Structure 1
Amino acid sequence: MEEYLTKTEIRYSQVNSGLHVTLLALAQIIEDATTKFLEQHHLSGGYLNKKYGAILVVLRNHIYFHERCHLGDEIFSQVSVIRKSSVAFFLRTRLYRKNEETPLITSYIQISAIDMKERTLRPLSQFDEFNILPIDEEILTHGLFEKYGHYKDETTTFYHCKVESTDIDYSNHLNNIAYIKYFMNCLSSDELRHLRFQELEINYIKEARENEPLLIEYTKKGNIMYFTTKIDDTVITKAKLVL
């Protein structure tokens, strides 16, 4: 097995009343591992902004939950590049218990670069660091991310919130993990304690900035929850949570 990149011991602040790790905490562990990987390859936001006037942004994220994590577990991560194109690259992050072969969580993330000022896509070939970024295991990404519609019916509920200053990241927009917090706020603590998550997929379509008002439309169909985030009539994110 490859060497682990990060190690996290699950604390009380990361579990719900059922002592299972929260979805938000798991997403944060994945993001921390991804950030460390990018820093090791000189692709951090600060480095790219200083050298090229660019930053990396997550466009899509698909997380598979294979097994639950619990209070006191030591969670180790591995991150690898599975595909590169002219405008995006794909990372796979896997979370394990130490010395176990089967991952607890697998995450696939599509990342692109944008100009820090213009907020437009930049070809990755412009960055020397990307050109030497190794592909550990070539995997076809077709099918990893779905295209699904906007689900809204008589059962849809609405959650209003505002982009808080504490959720703004280095890119000067709402951090991608903060959306998960807003999605979970659509549910009660009792629901969060009893639900068993299988998959989470998020498509990040547009940016949200500090103090902007968000409307989250939440619809449940069978074992799937759909979350659509809007600013006025503009869709910002679309997400699907499979139970």
Structure 2
Amino acid sequence: MAREALTLSNVNAFYGDSHILHGVGFALTEGHVLALLGRNGAGKTTCISTIVGFLTPKQGDIRLFGEAIGGLSPERISRLGIGLVPQGRRIFPSLTVRENLIVARQRERATTKPWNVERIFELFPRLQERHAQFAGTLSGGEQQMLAIGRALMGNPRVLLLDEPSEGLAPLIVAEVGRTIKRLKEEGQSIVLVEQNRQLALDVADQAVILNTGRCVFAGEASEVLNNEELIAQHLGVYHAH
């Protein structure tokens, strides 16, 4: 029986006085990719911020493999096994590619195949070619690969990807998609926040759609793909590329 890797139940979150998340609930199955979709301002990034501990939920429950993590510090949540590839990448521009990876290394979790620099270079041969280059001189696509590599160095049990295809050329977007599929094949549980609906639904098993901070759909990704009405109603502002 597949376990639930990450579960949110009735999560309410505020920025100051603004009530952003209203009773959000969904469950990511272990080894699956869950696409978190919605228009700009739907609450996707707030949802990610609440999971990683940047924002404390006012109400509700967040669990990582059954362990309550809602309201813990970001450092603690990271150590328990939540990895984040933030929007805008946030790598260290003045460190080399290799140094960026080494700095991100956490205590190796008792996994059968822990991530290390060699495995990251195997996943992203381009980074190996550029291992001694300053990260700030990489292309956008290479920086995105490095951001994913940095998150994997913490051996996350659940990996959160916040808008990984943003600002990237279509060829590189396809590469991001292939990377996500390969990680899934290795059993990595992933939450993917993505404006590129086509990419998201192509790699996801599950989908959750947020609209003004409420869950309006939670189910199989394939159910969203051909549901024109659902797409028009909740995702209609942007178009699949």
TM-score w.r.t. structure 2 length?
0.24
TM-score w.r.t. structure 1 length?
0.24
Give the structure with the larger strand fraction. 1
